[in-house]
Amino acid sequence: MDFPSSVDQVASAVGDDQVVARYRAKIRVVPGSDCLWWVGAISAKGHGRFWLGTDACGRDTAIISHRFGFALAYGPAAMTAAPVLAHSCDNPLCQSPDHLRAVTNAQNKAQWAARHRRVGGVLRDVRGARGRSLAIREAIKSGADLAAIDAAGVRPVDAGQLPMFNLD
Ligand SMILES: [Zn+2]
């Protein structure tokens, strides 16, 4: 049997107004931030997870949401050509295509190592990547103080460093 590829599914999804509207409905703007914040499902690694739909063979397909956003902005071929999309804003929930850049796996590993050592950085959050994203998503949905939610994950040894964003 000839199964449709996930690339074909992404290509069809970016051309489907209903799917695109469903994607955009899960994005929020937060005052004081240039990022576009995902409030939908969250993956084990703390990224947005977007359900593309059910394919012709009845299988559900989901995609990392910022990869879908990248495909929307630059086309499915550009997304497929990019093995890894790194966030220049260091915000795993961010959907802004302007904040994404295509990197190689090696570059991503090197950047991850550097970021993991950065005091007060996302990767040092005591809640873990998924726990941090869940806490931030709930804060955005409930209108809670995002800076306080962000600060709650900072290791005691990192306290006193600049927060990820400024909401004053
Ligand atoms: Zn961003």
CA of 33 to the centre of ligand 1 (A): 8
Render pLDDT for 42-60 as a digit per residue (tens, 0 to 9). Answer: 999 999 999 998 877 888 8
CA of 88 to the centre of ligand 1 (A): 7
pTM beyond cutoff 0.75: yes
pLDDT at 3 over 70: no
CB atoms within 5 A of ion ligand 1 belong to: 35, 89, 91, 94, 96, 99
CA of 98 to the centre of ligand 1 (A): 8
Which contacts qualify for 65-70: CB closer than 8 Å, 24 or more apart?
A: 65/23, 65/26, 65/38, 65/40, 65/95, 66/38, 66/94, 66/95, 66/100, 68/10, 68/13, 68/14, 68/23, 69/23, 69/36, 69/95, 69/96, 69/97, 69/100, 70/97, 70/100
Model pLDDT, residue 7: 79
Rounded-to-integer distance, Cα 160 and Cα 62, Å: 39
Rounded-to-integer distance, Cα 68 and Cα 23, Å: 9
Render pLDDT for 96-109 as a digit per residue (tens, 0 to 9). Answer: 999 999 998 888 88
Domain ranges of the chain: 7-154
Collapsed DSSP state (helix, strand, coil) of residue 48: strand
CA of 64 to the centre of ligand 1 (A): 15
Do the bridges between strand 36-38 and strand 41-42 make them parallel or antiparallel, or are there none, so unpaired? unpaired
